Amino acid sequence: MAKSTWNVDASHSTIGFSVKHMMFSTVRGTFEKFDATVTADPEDLTTAEIDFSIDAASVNTRDEARDNHLRASDFFDVENHPKITFKAIETKKTGEHEYDMTGDLTIRGITKPVTFHVKFEGAGKNPWGAEVAGFSATTTISRKDWGLSWNAALETGGVLVSDQVKIELEIEASKQA
């Protein structure tokens, strides 16, 4: 395939995260609203140009009180920082259809480099004739690096929310006509 522009299909894509709660259970969440600009050859992402923009207020952990706390100044501070962004800087092939994509992740106005492990899952034509490609990507970050340091000590030792956050993306994109 040649390098071309792709539209991320939000209805068939997920931006998710998970974090340990009370040091022994896992809480998962997603961001419901996001947009991306992707110019790439899906079979060779080494020259890909990728920009993601996430509506931080669209966080959804299936608990309204927790989601409101995540939107507040203790965490994402969406009033002052409505967007979370990622811009790819460099992509290196690491295996068959696998890559390390390093870029700038901005949360709460703080930009730090992060590397996602990306896998090209395949491509083909959908029933309506459009060329479609699938990708998965994962990384783990320290939330404190982006000023997300709120926590509570537990009576039994440890903390309520772990520092490590796993980010997982499942992306379906359609080739622009």
Domain residue limits, the chain: 4-175
What is the chain's pLDDT, residue by residue, as a tens digit (177 residues)?
Answer: 688 999 999 999 999 998 876 566 788 999 999 999 899 998 899 999 999 999 999 999 999 998 999 999 988 999 999 999 999 999 999 999 999 999 999 999 999 999 999 999 999 999 989 899 999 999 999 888 888 776 666 566 665 567 778 999 999 999 987
Q: How far apart are CA 115 and CA 135, in angstroms?
A: 15
Paired tokens of 32: 């419901």
Q: How far apart are CA 22 and CA 34, in angstroms?
A: 29
Q: What is the DSSP letter of 160?
A: S
For the whole model, what pTM was predicted? 0.90
SS3 assignment, position 148: coil
- The residue type found at 140 is T
| Res 26: pLDDT | 85
Return the H-helix or E-strand segment holding 35: strand 34-41
Q: How far apart are CA 142 and CA 89, in angstroms?
A: 20
Homologous superfamily in CATH for domain 4-175? Lipid/polyisoprenoid-binding, YceI-like (2.40.128.110)
Sign of CA dihedral 80, 69, 18, 121: negative
Sequence-separated (6 or more) residues with CB below 8 Å from residue 168: 14, 16, 17, 18, 136, 137, 138
| Res 27: pLDDT | 87
Rounded-to-5 percentages of helix, strand, coil across the chain: 10, 60, 30
| Tokens 């952990």, residue located | 61
Q: How far apart are CA 69 and CA 77, in angstroms?
A: 9
Within the chain, where are the H helices? 64-71
| Res 19: pLDDT | 86
